Structure 1
Amino acid sequence: MKNKKATIHEIAAKLNITASTVSRALNNNPRISEETKKRVQKVAKQINYQPNHIASALRSGKSRLIGVIVPTANRNFFSSVIRGIEDLANVFNYKIIISQSYDEYEKEVQNVEALLNARVDGIIASFGKETENFDHFLKVIEKGIPLVLFDRTADVLDVSHVILDDYLGAYQAVDHLIKSGCRRIVHFTNLQRINIYTERKRGYEDALKANGLEVDPALILYGSMQLEDGRRLTEEILEKKLDFDGIFSSADYAIMGALQVLKSHGIAVPGKVKLVGFGNEPFTSFTDPTITTVDQKSIAMGKITAETFFEILNSKALEAVSKKTILKPELIIRESSK
């Protein structure tokens, strides 16, 4: 026989109270005494009662669930943003459901569908590198469900979003390298359809121009910004015997790969080549030498994203509160660029 799920009616029968009283007790209704709440929770635990969130959402119109979609949760940036979101969600007695797209478009579409089926009250998302079609997010908007984007955004989606000033972060990084003596600075970047990489490349180019230096296309290299990409791109510029004295990477993982390759070739950092990354991943403060990087204010981004979400959730007109919030980055100067 299949296991039958426990219900609030069973709890009510055991305590000789009404099912509505059980429901209010489980939802921490102030009209129910603390003693009754404790008795209900004790029996609920004994019979392994699991609340049906979807049924509850259908009845009340609120699931008290927020869907959060990220490319991957095992990166410090995204995990810190999630922490910032969850900190505020807990204050409002909301829970979050985390979905990872792994930068795959089809997976991201499936995640949106799953969250809609779970009756979430809204979605917070940073889309994947493969995403070019945004119909799945437009569907969320058409349903009148709050949608807030962070970090990676798209102009085609007229929703509130929270981003870092990636242009300024890149500009500060490259300007710092130039003031540290660099004249031939390599730039590691990613697909230019993603806003963060477009802005970081623009900041790189404008910092060079502002300091009277030429933008050499041969020094702009493309990859997925993973550790192995940093290794591959650095081996490539060494094999081509390109003249360079600095590297600015759009991601810390790629600059870590660059550091490993340079050290393996006996090229001194920062003596011969200076390095700056982007992201302030925890490992950047433990490498030898430690790595200069741009801090993305990830926890603050998470909290502000959550604040923006709850403003929309509590507003009757979703369009009226759509806004763009831009956070200021911070250049953290360490040994790799001194």
Structure 2
Amino acid sequence: MKKGKATIHDIAEKLNITASTVSRALNDNPRISENTKKLVMKMAKQLNYQPNHIASALRSGKSKLIGVLVPTANRNFFSSVVRGIEDIANELDYKVIISQSYEDYEKEVQNVEALLNARVDGIIASIGKNTENFDHFQKVLDKGIPLVLFDRITNEIDVSQVIIDDYQGAYDTTKHLIEQGCKRIVHFTSPKKINIYRERLRGYEDALKDNKIEIDPELIEESNMQLEDGRTCMENIIKKGIPFDAVFSSSDYAVMGALQVLREHKIIVPNQVKLAGFGNEPFTSFTFPPITTVDQKSIPMGRVTAETFFELLKSDGKRGNNQKTVLKPELIIRESTQKRN
């Protein structure tokens, strides 16, 4: 055998059978005897044979691969969504290729191109914070390849979407804080043009209006919603001497930063200031006090996204079959918004 990757021709030569027989055996063709299949699989293992998915896709029109593009895979939310996607994909004998944009537009464009070059049967994606041009996703649609967006979406292209009701999650959280006696509620949001932050800000503002509480622009802090941003936003509010009795952050990471700063300033949570986040990251249940947050139903979102994808795949990605699914969020009330006796 020549140096390099083993091929079906190498297996065929070793077993003295045809390459077409090897191919059928590897694909579990019923025309091939069980004994031949076992011999082929054994030899494939010995030669460390790896199937060429691109060649297979060119022959069959299907690669049995799904490209999943996320901003980052090290967040519990995105990793849990991927798990939900894989639950459904594995049941249907599909494999998932995970790609990360790291919130970088150019990286996102390159990753979409790489997934297309890998002949994936379709793409599932969540848009990066810095993405404002969607030509790369339109290209996927123009090729007739199924595309489903989840969580971070855009309405600038006609595409299937799966989201939670960010507006309702924020409205319910703000209403809960008001019911706890809060009237000066700080809100952490993002200046980025992302649907999730727009909807969460809208939910916060509408809850205030419906409870006849004036919206104070000084209580709204914009940032990139990371832990350090939460620290900076909280320090800004405290240094300005702006009175507040609660913080509702559109990100659990930013609210964790706020909690750190409040502790450093000897401000007691929840007796003096109540805290609520969004995302139900695992650490929110282990902080002191545990943080009230919104559960985004990440695993169910992944499963519904995959189901939506496979429905599209059945219809060959035809635009008329696009659909928008909105999942109901759940407010998880913990000690950070409940006054201790």
Per-residue Cα deviation, 1:289-336 (whole angstroms, up to 9, x for no partner): 000000000000000000000000011461221000000000000010
Counterpart-to-counterpart distance in 2, 1:327 and 1:84: 14
Give the TM-score normalised by the residue count of structure 2: 0.96
Match of 2:154 in 1: 154
Amino acid at match of 1:120: V
Match of 1:110 in 2: 110
The structural deviation recorded for 1:16 is 2.8
Change in Cα spacing, 1:276 to 1:48, as seen in structure 2 (3 Å) is: same
Tell me, which stretches of 5 or more residues in structure 2 are unaligned?
A: none
Match of 1:85 in 2: 85
Per-residue Cα deviation, 1:247-291 (whole angstroms, up to 9, x for no partner): 000000000110111011110000000000000000000000000
Match of 2:60 in 1: 60
Amino acid at match of 1:201: L
Counterpart-to-counterpart distance in 2, 1:314 and 1:326: 22
Match of 2:332 in 1: 332
Q: SS at the partner of 2:124?
A: strand
Counterpart-to-counterpart distance in 2, 1:317 and 1:127: 20
Change in Cα spacing, 1:30 to 1:289, as seen in structure 2 (3 Å) is: farther
| Identity between Structure 1 and Structure 2 (%) | 72
Per-residue Cα deviation, 1:69-94 (whole angstroms, up to 9, x for no partner): 00000000000000000111111111
Match of 1:225 in 2: 225
Alignment of 1:130-169 (within 5 A): 130-169=130-169
Match of 2:288 in 1: 288
Match of 1:120 in 2: 120
Match of 2:191 in 1: 191
Match of 2:254 in 1: 254
Match of 2:40 in 1: 40
Counterpart-to-counterpart distance in 2, 1:31 and 1:238: 75
Tell me, which stretches of 5 or more residues in structure 1 are unaligned?
A: none
Counterpart-to-counterpart distance in 1, 2:322 and 2:22: 39
The structural deviation recorded for 1:125 is 0.3
Match of 1:240 in 2: 240
Counterpart-to-counterpart distance in 1, 2:176 and 2:88: 36
Preserved contact between residue 144 and residue 316 of structure 2 (Cα < 8 Å) = no
Match of 2:74 in 1: 74
Preserved contact between residue 146 and residue 316 of structure 2 (Cα < 8 Å) = no
More displaced 10-residue stretch of structure 1: 26-35 or 193-202: 26-35
Amino acid at match of 2:137: F
Counterpart-to-counterpart distance in 1, 2:283 and 2:30: 47
Q: SS at the partner of 1:311?
A: helix
More displaced 10-residue stretch of structure 1: 188-197 or 97-106: 188-197
The structural deviation recorded for 1:29 is 2.9
Counterpart-to-counterpart distance in 1, 2:278 and 2:34: 50
Counterpart-to-counterpart distance in 1, 2:206 and 2:290: 26
Per-residue Cα deviation, 1:47-90 (whole angstroms, up to 9, x for no partner): 11111111111111111111100000000000000000011111
Q: SS at the partner of 1:302?
A: helix
Match of 2:271 in 1: 271
Which of structure 1's runs of 4+ aligned residues deviate more than 6 A? none
Counterpart-to-counterpart distance in 1, 2:122 and 2:317: 14
Q: SS at the partner of 1:93?
A: coil
Q: SS at the partner of 2:177?
A: helix
Preserved contact between residue 180 and residue 337 of structure 2 (Cα < 8 Å) = yes
Q: SS at the partner of 2:162?
A: strand
Amino acid at match of 1:16: N
Preserved contact between residue 145 and residue 317 of structure 2 (Cα < 8 Å) = no
The structural deviation recorded for 1:17 is 2.6
Amino acid at match of 2:53: H
Change in Cα spacing, 1:90 to 1:38, as seen in structure 2 (3 Å) is: same
Change in Cα spacing, 1:121 to 1:106, as seen in structure 2 (3 Å) is: same
The structural deviation recorded for 1:214 is 0.5
Preserved contact between residue 162 and residue 301 of structure 2 (Cα < 8 Å) = yes
Q: Considering only aligned residues, what root-mean-square deviation do their CA atoms show, in Å?
A: 1.2
The structural deviation recorded for 1:44 is 0.8
Amino acid at match of 2:59: R
